[in-house]
Amino acid sequence: MSIRIAIQRELDSPIPLEIRPETRMAGNQEGLGLIDAKDLQLRSIQQHMDNVHAPELLKYLPSGIKRPDTYKRNELVHAGNVIFDLDFLRRVDSVFLVENKVQRHDLLAAFRNRYGDDPEAFQGYLPAEVERIINLKSSLTHLWTWKDLKRPGDNEHISKRDALINMCDTAIRRWFQRTTHPYSMDEVASTFADIRNRYDIERECIEKESKSLGKFQRLRNKVRGLKRFKK
């Protein structure tokens, strides 16, 4: 399926709207009018496509120009996007399934593997902070920055990663159980800010250690090469 067709289908997909009696205007649950909601949808699509394709172009920057950080590029391209994936599952058609030789149950299994639950578990209104927490959990579970923690000294990072995943799980569960256990928007925003801050600090620490180790290994290999040359 071409990018043009994918974008057109996204634009053609319906936006959940409601009529507000006091103004007799149509809007979504976040208070956006029809035009604003469609514009937000288009900008979301454009950002998603930029995240996918721009890093590939940046690989061909002229020598001497500092390239974007590999870790950040990995997150831009491969981080979760639960809203996009939920919408994709709603509008996927037989043409896509045939072209990619998959069944719908395969896509549902892929979603479960990525987000840890069925699409039905995420139905209903998702504020931006909850959406971002779901995406962060996916990143913590699947991005190689967090998966490739196999060195003897990585135990502390693994412990902090697992604690962050538990924080995400708790926040997600509280949001969808808020009818019996109230969870205010202020609490959600505060929880997301805390998780995001911890995530960024730990990721930066992992990246610095990995880069330092890489430099050490390159130096060691260079020394070994010189020794072999002298022999």
49 and 79 belong to one structural domain: no
Provide the domain limits for residue 103: 69-230
**Consecutive H or E run containing 26:** strand 25-27
* 197 and 221 assigned to the same domain: yes
Of the three residues 13, 34, 68, the one that is the final residue of a domain is 68
One domain for residues 89 and 203: yes
86 and 176 within one domain: yes
Are both 59 and 88 inside the same structural domain? Answer: no
Q: What is the structure's pLDDT at 45?
A: 63
Contact 140, 172 (CB under 8 A): no
The per-residue pLDDT for 23 is 45
Same domain, 73 and 183: yes
Residues 153 and 214 in one domain: yes
pLDDT value of position 144:
86
Listed residues 29, 47, 68: the one ending a domain: 68
94 with 199, same domain: the answer is yes
What lies within 8 Å, CB to CB, of 17 at 6+ separation is 26, 27, 28, 34, 37
pLDDT for the residue numbered 66: 67
For residues 130 and 202, membership in a common domain is answered with yes
User: For residue 1, what pLDDT is reported?
Assistant: 45
Q: Residues 135-193: pLDDT tens digits? A: 999 999 999 889 888 887 889 999 999 999 999 999 999 998 877 778 888 999 999 99
* 13, 91 Cβ separation under 8 angstroms: yes
For residues 102 and 169, membership in a common domain is answered with: yes
10-residue averages of pLDDT along the chain (231 residues) = 50 50 46 57 64 67 68 73 89 90 94 94 88 95 88 88 96 86 88 96 89 58 52 55
What pLDDT is attached to residue 17? 47
Q: Rounded distance, CA 50 to CA 46, Å?
A: 6
Of 68, 97, 117, the last residue of a domain is 68
Claim to verify: residue 96 and residue 172 sit in the same structural domain: yes
Are residues 59 and 143 both part of a single domain?
no
Q: Given this model, what pLDDT does residue 101 score?
A: 93
* Structural domain count, the chain: 2
Q: To which residue do tokens 């006091």 refer?
A: 22
Dist CA 191 CA 185 (whole Å) = 10
Q: What distances in angstroms separate CA 70 from CA 39, 42, 46, 49, 92, one per listed residue? A: 31, 27, 22, 18, 32
Whole-number pLDDT of residue 199: 95
pLDDT at 25: 44
**Contact between residue 137 and residue 168 where contact means Cβ atoms under 8 Å apart:** yes
Which three-class secondary structure state does DSSP give residue 13?
Answer: coil
